[in-house]
Amino acid sequence: MTKTWLITGASSGLGRAMTEQLLTRGDHVIATVRNTDALADLLTSHEQTLRVMVLDLTDTPAIRHVIGDAFGAAGRIDVVVSNAGYGAFGAAEELQDDQIERQIATNLTGSIQLIRACLPHLRAQGGGRVLQLSSTGGQVAYPAFSIYHATKWGIEGFVEAVAQETAGFGIDFILAEPGPTATSFSINLDRAEAMPEYDDTPSGAVRRMFANGGSLAKRDDAGVTANRMIAAADADRPPLRLVLGDVSYEHIEHALSARLDAVRAQKPTS
């Protein structure tokens, strides 16, 4: 059955990959971008099934307006994909106030307000799905990504609570947790100015690794990752958390096991 999807941040990365795959299989997509030129090629080849809307997630009134127009035009939206976001890179002390504020406004507040804007429409139509892009970094933390982790851990807690609040309305949530993926994420990092005091710390080591063209781990194929996300959203009973990739599984399993061991060690005194 043909579905209608709304995807934020559809101009590149996983948002673009999902948009392409969904259009190829015949679904309808409402794609939000900051610059419509980014999807001009897809509009040419899918003018009947693709609608492109301009949206900046840091503008809350605009979110409500665009979401209202999208549901009004489509009649029904089956899956909302909250994908827009980016990473800020640097030790907490290195980051500037405006970098922190912009990261939170986009990744956390923007995602929260997008979901809130969609909820009354999803309730009114009798349900739907929300797929929120998180990350391995929604359950694991690495040096030099502290504020990025704050947004991803924050949105995971928000979604887990809202999923319980709205389950009776037929609204399902999925937290997608991909590991390192072959997208432009690392290229588009908002990088803080390095402080020499952090050169010989784990943050400095990560900075040098990126400067030398390395990454935290091997990168998964974006097309395969997008396909797995679509399959999860299509499933009869989707998981709340969708772990994507060997690296993501390994790092999340290790982090959760370590946390559980630490908790259990405190049982006699807790």
Query: Annotated catalytic, 148?
Result: yes
Calpha distance 155→135 (Å, rounded): 10
- Rg value, the chain, Cα: 19
Residue recorded with tokens 């419509």: 36
CB proximity list for 112: less than 8 A, separation 6 or greater: 155, 158
From 148, 198, 203, 248, the catalytic residue: 148
Residue recorded with tokens 């900051």: 34
Tokens of 181: 């993926």
CA 122 to each of CA 83, 153, 210, 219: distance values in angstroms, whole numbers, following the listed order: 18, 25, 41, 35
Greatest pairwise CA separation for the chain in angstroms: 65
Query: Annotated catalytic, 198?
Result: no
- Phi and psi at residue 133, to the nearest 5°: -75, 115
From 152, 198, 203, 248, the catalytic residue: 152
From 11, 82, 111, 134, the catalytic residue: 134
Query: Annotated catalytic, 11?
Result: no
Catalytic residues: 134, 148, 152
